[in-house]
Amino acid sequence: MAFYIVQFLTGLASAASLFLVASGLSIIFGVTRIVNFAHGAFYMLGAYVAFTLTEHWSGALGFWGGIVAAALVVAAVGVIVEILLLRRIYHAPELFQLLATFGLTLMVEDLVVLIWGPDDLLGRRAPGFKGAVDFFGQNIPSYDLFLIVLGPVVLGALWLLFQRTRWGILVRAATQDRDMVAALGVNQKWLFTSVFAVGVFLAALGGALQIPRDAVHHAMDLRIIVEVFVVVVIGGLGSILGAFVAAVLVSELNAFGILIFPTISLILVFLVMAVVLVVRPWGLFGKKEAPVRRTPGLTVIPWRALTSLERLAALVALALAAMLPFVGGNYALTVGAEIAIFVIFAASLHFLMAVGGLASFGHAAYFGLGAYGVAFLAKLAGLPMIACLLLGPLLGTLGALVFGAFAVQLSGVYFAMLTLAFAQIVWSIAFQWVAVTGGDNGILGVWPEKWAASPSHFYWLSLGVAALVVSALRLITFSPFGYALRAMRDSPLRSEAIGINGKLIQWTAFVVAGSTAGIGGALFAYLKGSVFPDNMGISLSVDALVMVLLGGVETVAGPIFGAIVYKALNIWLVSQTDLSKLVLGIFIVLVVVVFPKGIVGMFESITYRRRAAPPKSPVLAAKMEGAQ
């Protein structure tokens, strides 16, 4: 019995940091509407800075002063980030904000390695809390008891701050309607900055407080952010009480889950999350989001099928691409095949994200499942390559069927966070279930058969499949099904009112997107000759998002160009620098800030404006006024 109580208390202690980070994320989201992916990075920075400060400052005052000072220093960094970056993207679509802050995370990951080195750092123990308390023969670290008390204290302090101070009232008002707060004489720029500073302070404090418990390392950010996403999805984004309850719940599930499923303890948390989402889609304490106010001035160019001239041009381009084996060497062909595979991957995400309006942050899961599907069939069942290529993607289909059923219950940032969490489950299964997946070592020796083995043959195979997949997706986009999907994206209210079963349509689209991603993954397994958990990792999911955005999310042809440009750039970059994350992060931020419409989007709006500008203005003017 005592053992279980101790286990319970350990869970409560872990909840403290999780709560600090999650409440910070919730507060920032409430006012700025930004889901700050970089929150994990600020948590990690808090730990690193606290490590350095507590090493240099001695004594109890040095330690505790160092912890608080670290949180303040990181909050100051947060203020700079807010002023330089976030202020430029407050009016951008939420997806762009998520991506920009992810770019920030990538930059921080490389920077901490540059500054503090790649090795794990062990921090000082907390003065006054070095010992343990005996509890019926079980030891409880006294620092854990300190953390257990700290959580509710912070919760109470935040409650007072938001209910009893003018600042708190202004923040709650801004949470609902920021422009209106400005129209009542409040300087909303500084209100936002102060909110961001408070949120980052909480995250950094959460990180700093971890140093007596855990080693400081450069992958802390992703681990905590996934847990934090789970916490806010369960608790309800924007609710501080929800963050607290969910942090306790998740930490306890982790503490006891390890006893039940030692290897795949994460599953338990995700199962609970799935149940909560089905019962209360906006989390235990969350509220249904009010429909977003449309920003006037954002016109979308109506999509249309290709004219026969354009179709001809596409065929010519495909024919030219098919000439590559006659001019390029083996390296060029391998790169070419990889690009073709990523065109498939990007096109599948684009279908879900642009046509369906469902931005998945975990699309790599289905790509990776397709790859593992092939590996299982080829290595375990020994099927011929053609059968593997046809059947392997079905594992992606299966994953999309299961996860999609839950995911389409949500939309917007919740959808993004949930798909990310699902991808992490799949990743952790691949990573932890060593007996079947080989864990970190992956499955090796998945080579193509003779007919497809030469680089030129494999290139043609990839190019052919890519052309087929892209054409099929395009056909679907302009079919009644594609229109129904867009209808759900544009106005769920209207769609339901004209008899469209929107969730079923979206689920089907999710399965289509997951299956086509699986096709890409299947080819990828043969290209590399192996599969690894990283084939379904977060960074691959984000690669796909960047490809779609770079091409232009409001266009139909965008993902093809996005994939080609991005993948080529990426391959080149990795060969040129060790700091690829830093450069990539900067690149992502630049794309979001400077290039929000993407390559194809820019091109289209220039030609569209030239065609339609003069007669459009008065009509548009009336509509803008109406939209206010």
Partner 1 sequence: MKLSVCNLNSHYGPAHILFDIGLEVGEGEVVALLGRNGAGKSTTFRSIVGLVELREGQIMFEGRDISKAPTHEIVRSGLGYVPEERRIFTELSVEENLEVGRQPQRPNAPHWTREKLYQLFPNLGEMKNRPGGRMSGGEQQMLTIARTLMGNPSLVLLDEPSEGLSPKIVEQMVDAILTMKKAGVSMVVSEQNLHFARLISDRAYIIERGRICFSGTMAELDARPDIRDAHLSI
Partner 2 sequence: MSLGVALLSVEGLTKSYGGIHAVRGVSFMLQAGEILALIGPNGAGKSTCFDMLNGQNVPDSGRISVMGENTTGRKPREVWRLGVGRTFQITATYPTMTVRENIQVALVSYHRRLFDVWSPMASIERGEADRLLDLVGMAGYAERPCGELAYGDLKRLELAIALANHPKLLLMDEPTAGMAPRERVELMRLTAKIAREQSIGVLFTEHDMDVVFEHADRILVLNRGTLIAQGSPAEVRGNREVQAIYLGEGLLYDSRHREGASA
Question: Residue numbers of the site for partner 2 (CB under 8 A)?
Answer: 299-303, 305, 475-476, 478-484, 486-487, 490-491, 493-501, 505, 508, 616, 619-620, 622-623, 626
Dist. CA 78–CA 96, nearest whole Å: 19
Q: How far is the CB of 625 from partner 2 (least distance, A)?
A: 8
Residues 66 and 184: beta-carbon distance below 8 Å: no
Stretch that binds partner 1, among 5-13, 136-144, 170-178, 383-391 (CB under 8 A): 170-178
Of positions 72, 150, 182, 573, contacts partner 1 by CB under 8 A: 182
How far is it, in rounded angstroms, from Cα 106 to Cα 581? 5
Report, in Å, the least distance between residue 498 CB and partner 2. 4
Q: CA-based angle 243:121:218, to the nearest 5?
A: 55
Q: CB under 5 to 8 A by kind: which of partner 1, partner 2, none does 185 bind?
A: partner 1
Using rule CB under 8 A, residue 118 touches partner 1 = no
**Which member of 85, 95, 181, 377 binds partner 1 (CB under 8 A)?**
181
CB of 622 to partner 2, least distance (A): 4
530-531 vs 443-444, strand pairing mode: antiparallel
When binding is defined by CB under 8 A, the residue of 176, 576, 577, 607 that contacts partner 1 is: 176
**Sole binder of partner 1 in the list 118, 185, 291, 614 (CB under 8 A):** 185
183, 305, 380, 434: residue in contact with partner 1 (rule CB under 8 A): 183
Q: Is 492 helix (H, G, I), strand (E, B) or coil?
A: helix
**Residue 5 contacts partner 1 per CB under 8 A:** no
**Amino acid identity, position 294:** R
Our measurement of the distance from residue 264's CA atom to the centroid of its chain's CA atoms, rounded to an integer in Å, reads 22
Half-sphere CA count of 117, side-chain side, radius 13 A: 6
Least separation, in Å, of the C-beta of 482 and partner 2? 7
Q: d(Cα 392, Cα 154) in Å, to the nearest integer? A: 50
- The token pair at 248 is 């306790």
Binding mask 588-617 for partner 1 (x = CB under 8 A): ---------------------x---x--xx
The first and second tokens of residue 470, run together, are: 């892209």
Q: Which CB, 172 or 213, lies closer to partner 1?
A: 172
| Ramachandran assignment for 92, one of left (phi > 0), alpha (psi -120 to 50 degrees), beta (any other) | beta
Cβ of residue 626: shortest distance to partner 1, in angstroms?
5
Of 66 and 596, the one with the shorter C-beta distance to partner 1 is 596
* 176 contact choice in partner 2, partner 1, none (CB below 5 to 8 Å, kind-dependent): partner 1
CA 376/CA 184 separation, integer angstroms:
63
Q: Of all helices (H) and strands (E), which one includes residue 140?
A: strand 138-141
What DSSP designation does 441 have?
A: G
Number of residues that bind partner 1 (CB under 8 A): 35
- Strand pairing class (138-141; 132-135): antiparallel
Residue 621 CB, nearest approach to partner 2 (Å): 9
Angle at 226 between CA 539 and CA 508, to 5 degrees: 70
- Alpha-helical (H) ranges within 209-265 are 220-235, 240-260
Exposed e or buried b for every residue in 581-618, given b needs 16+ CB within 10 A?
bbbbbebbbebbbeebbbbbbebbbeeeeeeeeeeeee
Size of the chain in residues: 628
How many CA atoms, within 13 angstroms, populate the side-chain half-sphere of residue 600? Answer: 21
Q: What residues does 530 pair with on adjacent strands? A: 444
Nearest to 454 by CA among 325, 318, 341: 325
Query: Which residues in 193-212 contact partner 1 (CB under 8 A)?
Result: none
Which of 101-109, 374-382, 539-547, 618-626 is the region at the interface with partner 1 (rule: CB under 8 A)?
Answer: 618-626
Report what 498 binds from partner 1, partner 2, none; CB cut-off 5-8 Å by kind.
partner 2
* From partner 2, partner 1, none, interface partner of 183 (C-beta below 5 to 8 A by class): partner 1
- Tell whether residue 445 is a contact of partner 1 (CB under 8 A): no
Would you give the binding string for partner 1 spanning residues 263-302, x where CB under 8 A is met?
A: ---------------------------------xxxx---
32 close to 197: Cβ distance less than 8 angstroms:
no
| Residues 149-168 as x/- pattern, contact with partner 1 by CB under 8 A | -----------------x--
> Which residue among 169, 275, 305, 387 contacts partner 1 (CB under 8 A)?
169
- Whole-Å CA distances, 146 to 137, 204, 210: 20, 18, 12
Q: Which is closer to partner 1, CB of 240 or CB of 512?
A: 240
Which one of residues 180, 312, 317, 381 is an interface residue with partner 1 (CB under 8 A)?
Answer: 180
Give which of 31, 28, 32 is closest to 42, Cα–Cα.
Answer: 28
Report the residue number, 195 or 461, with the smaller CB distance to partner 1.
Answer: 195
Residue ranges that bind partner 1, judged by CB under 8 A: 166, 169-170, 172-173, 175-177, 179-188, 296-299, 609, 613, 616-618, 620-626, 628
